[in-house]
């Protein structure tokens, strides 16, 4: 099967790529661009570990074909913050103890970021509903919800 050309912006960097049309977005990010913060959990869109933002909206990158990102902007956890300068949402996840094994954390953080961009002061129930597509087997969710609440109180959605 022949390759197709796409243009995509990932974490603010523009790429002109030739890809296999069967390539999933998660595989483009992890294998081609070496952005390994995005994790594959179930491969079926059920766990949210692979959540990235596509034009600002959270998507399960295991269910999105790479060619569907043509002409669009993708934000991964690497684009939100770095080891040297974490995003305030990431800082709150650490401060509140919302990180244990860390596998779900990139998807959780990006989903929380998306929510706070839409609604800087969400109610607890809205946070729960918005994060419902992200599964965590370690924390029991309470600390994650507290981290999002704390981040919203600090107005972190307006910092970028």
Residue 1 has pLDDT above 90, yes or no: no
pLDDT tens figures, 39-51: 999 999 999 999 9
DSSP 96-128: TT--SS-SSHHHHHHHHHHHHHH-SS--HHHHH
**CA 153, CA 135: separation in Å to the nearest integer?**
24
pLDDT tens figures, 97-134: 998 888 899 999 999 999 999 999 999 999 999 999 89
**CA 82, CA 97: separation in Å to the nearest integer?**
19
pTM of the model: 0.92
Nearest to 152 by CA among 121, 117, 112, 119: 121
Q: State residue 82's pLDDT score.
A: 81
Query: Looking at domain 4-80, which of 1.10.3720.10, 1.10.240.10, 3.10.20.30, 3.30.2270.10 is its CATH number?
Result: 3.10.20.30
Q: State residue 157's pLDDT score.
A: 55
Tokens of 138: 């370690």
**CA 50, CA 105: separation in Å to the nearest integer?**
10
Residue 160 has pLDDT above 60, yes or no: no
CATH code for 88-158? 1.10.150.120
């Amino acid at each position: 099967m022949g390759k197709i050309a796409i243009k995509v912006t990932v974490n603010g960097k523009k790429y002109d790529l030739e890809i296999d049309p069967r390539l999933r977005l998660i595989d483009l990010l992890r294998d081609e661009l070496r952005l390994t913060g995005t994790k594959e959990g179930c491969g079926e869109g059920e766990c949210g570990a692979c959540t990235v933002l596509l034009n600002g909206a959270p998507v399960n990158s295991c269910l999105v074909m790479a060619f569907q990102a043509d002409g669009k902007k993708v934000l991964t956890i690497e684009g939100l913050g770095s080891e040297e300068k974490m995003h305030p949402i990431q800082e709150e996840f650490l401060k509140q103890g919302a990180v244990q094994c860390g596998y779900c954390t990139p998807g959780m953080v990006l989903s929380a970021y998306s929510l706070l961009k839409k609604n800087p002061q969400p109610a607890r129930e809205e946070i729960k509903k918005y994060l419902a597509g992200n599964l965590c087997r370690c924390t029991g969710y309470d600390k994650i919800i507290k981290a999002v609440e704390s981040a919203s109180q600090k107005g972190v959605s307006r910092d970028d």
